Structures are given as C-alpha cells and as structure tokens.
Amino acid sequence: MTRYGILGFGHHAIKRLVPGFAGAHASTLAGLWRRDLAKAEANAHEHNIPHAFATAEELCASPEIDAVFVASPDALHLPHVLLAAKHGKPVLCEKPLAMSAAEAEQMLFATRAAGAVFGVAQNMRYNGSVQLIREWIAEGRIGQPLLAHSQFCYNSEKSPRAWIYDPSLALGGPIGDVAIHCLDALRYVLATDVTEVSTLAHKDATSGAVESHAVINVAFGNGAMGAVSVTTRGSYRSLMEVTGESGVILCENGLTVDHPIDVVLYRQDKVAAHQRVSNADAYSRMLDGFSAAIAGRAEYLASGEDGLHNQRVLDAAYRSWHSGARQKPA
C-alpha cells in the first residue's frame, strides 16, 4: 500500500482526490498540508487522514509518506515538485504541470537526478471512455483519423477556486485549466504528439488578465488536424469527437466522471457500435496506476515527459494568442 501526502489540500482534493483514494486498492491518503494549519487539521479530522503537517517540507520528509501528490496552485508546482525530489519521494503533480516548459524541464531534471518516479495527474487517460476511443481507433474502426475535436465548458463564477483568475498563481484561464485535459486526451486517443498550434482567445471583465474562452487549432504528428474549444462562461460540457476516413466516434461529455456516458461509432450515418461506460473510478485507477509504477509493476500512463510535451503545447498556444501567428511546441 503506497501512502500519499497531498501538498495543497483544497477544493479539488476534497471533491476528487479523497473519493479517489477511497476507491483505490493500492493507494491510501496518509497526510496533507495546506497553508492554514487549523484548516489542515480540521480536514484531516473530517476525512480520517492520519497526519496534518505544519509545513510542506515536513510532509515530504516524513517517513509516514511514501509518495507526494502536488495539488497546489499552478505557480507552486515547481517548488513543491523540487521539494519532493529533494527528499527522494515519487511525485505525482496536477496539471498544468508548470507555469512554463522551462519549469517542467527543471522538474524532470530534479526527479531524474533523485531517481524518483514522476508523473502528471492527467486522470482522463484513465477514463473508460477515453481508453475505449483509443482502442477503437487503434483497431481501425474509423480508418485513418483526419479530424479530432474536444470541448470543455464550465462556469467558473461558481468555482470556489478563487486563485484561477490570479495570473501570479494560475498559468492562465481555461487554456491552462481545462484545454490541457482536451489536448492530452486527443494526443492519447490518437497516439501521437502535437506539431503546430494556432490560438484565438478572449478576455472579459471578470477574467481580468487571463482568458475567458478560447479555440486552439492543432496539427498532429499522424497527419490529423484538431480543435479544442474551452470556456469558463458556459454550461458544463466535455465533448470528444474523432472523424476518420471510414467512420466517426462521438462521445458527448466524454471527459466527465460524474455519470455514465455513451461512446458511439457511426459509419455511413448509421450507428455501427454503441457502448455505455462509466468514468467514476478514473481517479482511483490513476492513483493505483502511479503506485504500480512506483513498485515497478507497470508503466504510468502520463509520464513527466508527457507533461513536458503538453507544457510546450500550452506555451505555444499562449504565444500564438499573443502573437497572432501559428507556433510550434518547443
């Protein structure tokens, strides 16, 4: 059983990670840290977590913690990953991995030097829907993929994460927050990388210095083209759609973990296959997947190298928005 400590125990940890640990078989939540120790102690008591640490370093140094889960705001990911690496602890870091590719490179260097397993919490690679779409594409059910689209919409005005509008803490708006999920999921189902990026984005009075909605056009290494559309001003939606030479795979709300969803294969405008799946155990499967990687039993699906590529794509997306020109991840 791998004992995890969470750095940055906030809304996401309570809503997603605590239930994820409850459903895991080889992973347990043994400790937490947050800036307010009184709140940390209250959280530990409420969720039956054995240890509430006074400092992030105390958590990383503790012999009661086998692996560190970084769930702090984006700007704190680098110091927290470096701290875990300093103590030789395997570290699983939330997305977006960093504030820049240069920071992600520092993380990779430090964890490699420490011999510590390093992964990104791209939990949607463990979604049953995403894995099924990947399988159907690999089996040739739609022929050569040509077009791919993912959309992620939600209303951030209802979000308790107040820091997501603060550019000193957040990489950006929905590009950094949820487009990263869409981009990574498309990369995963197509089994390829992004080679070119072009972005249109918009700010509004509420989003301030960060974007409120955006469209990112991408070219993939396998010749397919794609689009990711995101907003923090819409009703919840998380679409996945891939068009190939001989068929289309469509999954409305394909990235949600909150209810069962349908993955549908169309050929010649008729349903050729239909499967209902649940992503409810994705976080648990992600945690156990990382624990298996620590034990050397399996390869974790979202490595630090994957995180670096995604970070380069995000950097290119923001460069494209600000320059008005297409960009290559580099």
For 226-258, write each residue's pLDDT tens digit. Answer: 999 999 999 999 999 999 999 999 999 999 999
* pLDDT value of residue 157: 79
Whether 38 and 143 map to the same domain: the answer is no
Q: What does each C-alpha distance from 263 to 186, 240, 271 come to in angstroms?
A: 15, 9, 11
Tokens (6 digits) for 130: 């995403």
Whether 24 and 108 map to the same domain: the answer is yes
For 117-159, write each residue's pLDDT tens digit. Answer: 999 999 999 999 999 999 999 999 999 999 999 999 999 877 7
Return the HEC string of the chain.
Answer: CEEEEEECCCHHHHHHHHHHHHHCCCEEEEEEECCCHHHHHHHHHHCCCCEECCCHHHHHHCCCCCEEEECCCHHHHHHHHHHHHHCCCCEEECCCCCCCHHHHHHHHHHHHHHCCCEEECCHHHHCHHHHHHHHHHHCCCCCCEEEEEEEEEEEHHHCCCHHHHCCCCCCCCHHHHHHHHHHHHHHHHHCCCEEEEEEEEECCCCCCCCCCEEEEEEEECCCCEEEEEEECEEEEEEEEEEEECCCEEEECCCCCCCCCEEEEEEECCEEEEEEEECCCCHHHHHHHHHHHHHCCCCCCCCEHHHHHHHHHHHHHHHHHHHHCCCECCC
Whether 92 and 142 map to the same domain: the answer is no
* pLDDT value of residue 206: 86
For 77-90, write each residue's pLDDT tens digit. Answer: 999 999 999 999 99
Whether 116 and 131 map to the same domain: the answer is no
* pLDDT value of residue 158: 72
For 165-178, write each residue's pLDDT tens digit. Answer: 889 999 999 999 99
Tokens (6 digits) for 24: 């895991």
For 22-75, write each residue's pLDDT tens digit. Answer: 999 999 999 999 999 999 999 999 999 999 999 999 999 999 999 999 999 999
Q: How many domains does the chain have?
A: 2
Q: Is 112 within the bounds of a domain?
A: yes
* pLDDT value of residue 252: 97
Whether 212 and 81 map to the same domain: the answer is no
Q: Is 324 within the bounds of a domain?
A: no
Q: Is 308 within the bounds of a domain?
A: no
Q: Is the per-residue pLDDT at 160 higher than 80? A: no
* pLDDT value of residue 328: 97
For 259-306, write each residue's pLDDT tens digit. Answer: 999 999 999 999 999 999 999 999 999 999 999 999 999 999 999 999
**C-beta atoms surrounding 25 within 10 Å:** 11
Q: What are phi and psi for residue 173, nearest 5 degrees?
A: -85, -130
The enclosing domain of 37 has a CATH number of 3.40.50.720
Q: Is 222 within the bounds of a domain?
A: yes
Full-model pTM:
0.96
Q: Is 329 within the bounds of a domain?
A: no
Q: Is 317 within the bounds of a domain?
A: no
* Percentage of the chain exceeding pLDDT 70: 100
Whether 137 and 49 map to the same domain: the answer is no
The enclosing domain of 129 has a CATH number of 3.30.360.10
Residue 214 lies in domain: 124-279
Whether 116 and 227 map to the same domain: the answer is no
Over residues 11-19, the mean pLDDT reads 96
